Amino acid sequence: MSSCLYRRSLDLEPAELSRLEPAIYGRPVALEAWSVCTGRGQLPAAIDRVEHAREAVVAIAARARQAFASPAARARPGRAARELS
């Protein structure tokens, strides 16, 4: 899971963790909107896919919260941490 890689070099604040679902949900909404606006997709199908994405978004956010709830493994700082030092 990609959150494991991020977990090595940063912590998320409780407010950030509480906003994971809307942040994650923005991606499928934006992609479907782009598809409809460029004529590559039909609105009814896009709405259906966005509505079905909600279940995946909830699961992804729950998994990320679980990963960030445990203490970070900081044996070796990640690139982001090294760049900040």
Give the pLDDT confidence score for residue 69 in this predicted structure: 82
Q: What is the pTM of this model?
A: 0.66
Tell me the pLDDT tens digit for each residue of 28-84: 999 999 999 999 999 999 999 999 999 999 999 999 898 888 766 444 455 555 555
Contacts 24+ apart (CB under 8 A), 45-50: none
Tell me the pLDDT tens digit for each residue of 11-32: 888 899 999 999 999 999 999 9
Q: Is 9 exposed, middle or buried (0-12, 13-18, 19+ CB in 10 A)?
A: middle
| Distance in angstroms (rounded) separating the CA atoms of residues 83 and 33 | 36
Provide the greatest CA pair distance for the chain.
Answer: 49
